[in-house]
Amino acid sequence: MADDSESAGARAERRARFQPASGMVTPRFSGLASFMRLPVLDPAEAVGEGAGEGAGLVEIGLIGIPFDGTTTNRPGARLGPRAVREASTGTRALNHATGVAPYALAACADLGDVPINPVDAAETAQRIEAFYRPLAEAGIVPLTVGGDHFITYPVLRALGAARPLGLIHIDAHSDTDDAQYGGSRLTHGTPFRRAVEAGLLDPRRCIQIGIRGSMDAADERDWALAQGMRILTMEEVCARGLPEVAAEARAVVGEGPTYLSFDIDALDPAFAPGTGTPEIGGFTTREALHLLRALRGLDLVGADVVEVAPPLDSAGITALAGAGIAFEILCLLAERVAARG
């Protein structure tokens, strides 16, 4: 543990080393675009010396997974990490609403993109899991930008290997299909079914928020409910209001380790047109920010923002939403890192 091996002063020094480039020194539109203008660090270097929480050189790693090979409708999310990096150069160091200064609370770096195989989902899954396992062992909390939603399953294979996780899943879709196109079990419509089947998620500690739109078949919903997963449809979200929704999410996941997954199509297409499977009647970006801010204090062990598809975007609006939501989630993760020392 960091507390045993490193003084508070040394920890502060390490965190001070990993600051985003200041927009007061070099303009935000200049230079190479990393996530949040953070230093770029090789994953092997990030893992550092030992194992266990606090053993890594950094505490939070921002990672791109430019893979959309299991998209069932309109492709383009492979370009999400690059566009979100670019849009994220506008995010600054202090959250005006919560007062959280994430880079003062946790050493953060851009760990680059996972070296995926764009034409092989199974091999890509192996590469993602292999990329995340050493990070998990070093206690580095990953914040991932996809990529289609399939990528969450191999990430969970690394993060949930030691014990099943809780899940807060904000999405228009449950992504709990069994198979698509006559037998494909690894798609962006199946990651949470695979993760529950593999024991990576505790279904009774899983909540899906904002689910709406039409389904191919009721099995996607009925299977999830039969496992004990909680589905808060958008209709229920509207009827009950965000404070109650957040309270229920907190109650479902409790105090145990939890993963947060944000599909950008949870937002209404008016706020996120650049995504493969848009559904009308979604969250505004403002509602999404308020919902995330109501999730402070949970034991979040990782998170992702997926399904930003720049070729379908208008004026970068969806990449901007993805970057802003990633920053909001980064603030949650940084507070959690700081709370644990």
Tokens for 172, please give them. Answer: 């228009």
* Only segment of 120-128, 135-143, 173-181, 208-216 that touches Mn ion (CB under 5 A): 173-181
Instruction: Please report how close the Cβ of residue 102 comes to Mn ion at its closest, in angstroms.
Output: 25
Looking at the Cβ atoms of 68 and 171, the one nearer to Mn ion is 171
Residue 220 interacts with Mn ion (CB under 5 A): yes or no: no
Instruction: Please report how close the Cβ of residue 183 comes to Mn ion at its closest, in angstroms.
Output: 20
* Only segment of 7-15, 28-36, 144-152, 160-168 that touches Mn ion (CB under 5 A): 144-152
Residues facing 95 on adjacent strands:
none
Residue 230 interacts with Mn ion (CB under 5 A): yes or no: no
Among 86, 129, 137, 171, binds Mn ion (CB under 5 A): 171
Instruction: Please report how close the Cβ of residue 266 comes to Mn ion at its closest, in angstroms.
Output: 7
- Footprint of Mn ion on residues 148-167 (CB under 5 A)? 149
- Give dist(CA 301, CA 273) in Å, integer: 29
Among 173, 212, 230, 336, binds Mn ion (CB under 5 A): 173
Looking at the Cβ atoms of 175 and 335, the one nearer to Mn ion is 175
CB 220 within 8 A of CB 177: yes
Among 53, 68, 137, 175, binds Mn ion (CB under 5 A): 175
Burial zone of 217 (CB within 10 Å; 0-12 exposed, 13-18 middle, 19+ buried): exposed
Contact letters (x/-) for Mn ion, 122-141, by CB under 5 A? --------------------
Looking at the Cβ atoms of 5 and 73, the one nearer to Mn ion is 73
Looking at the Cβ atoms of 48 and 273, the one nearer to Mn ion is 273
Tokens for 272, please give them. Answer: 């996120």
Instruction: Please report how close the Cβ of residue 148 comes to Mn ion at its closest, in angstroms.
Output: 8
* Pick from 257, 258, 263: nearest CA to 325: 263
| Size, binding site for Mn ion by CB under 5 A | 7
What are the residue ranges of helices labelled H in the chain? 2-5, 8-17, 43-47, 80-88, 102-105, 121-137, 152-159, 191-197, 219-227, 234-240, 242-253, 285-293, 317-339
What phi, psi does 309 have (nearest 5°)? -120, 90
- Give dist(CA 33, CA 16) in Å, integer: 20
Looking at the Cβ atoms of 53 and 263, the one nearer to Mn ion is 263
* Only segment of 2-10, 33-41, 63-71, 175-183 that touches Mn ion (CB under 5 A): 175-183
Sheet with 60-65, side-by-side order of all strands: 108-113, 60-65, 141-146, 300-306, 258-263, 165-170, 201-211, 230-233
- Footprint of Mn ion on residues 250-279 (CB under 5 A)? 263, 265
* Only segment of 87-95, 143-151, 176-184, 294-302 that touches Mn ion (CB under 5 A): 143-151
- Give dist(CA 211, CA 221) in Å, integer: 10
Q: How crowded is residue 115: how many other Cβ atoms within 10 Å of its Cβ? A: 12
- Give dist(CA 319, CA 33) in Å, integer: 13
Applying CB under 5 A, which residues contact Mn ion? Answer: 149, 171-173, 175, 263, 265
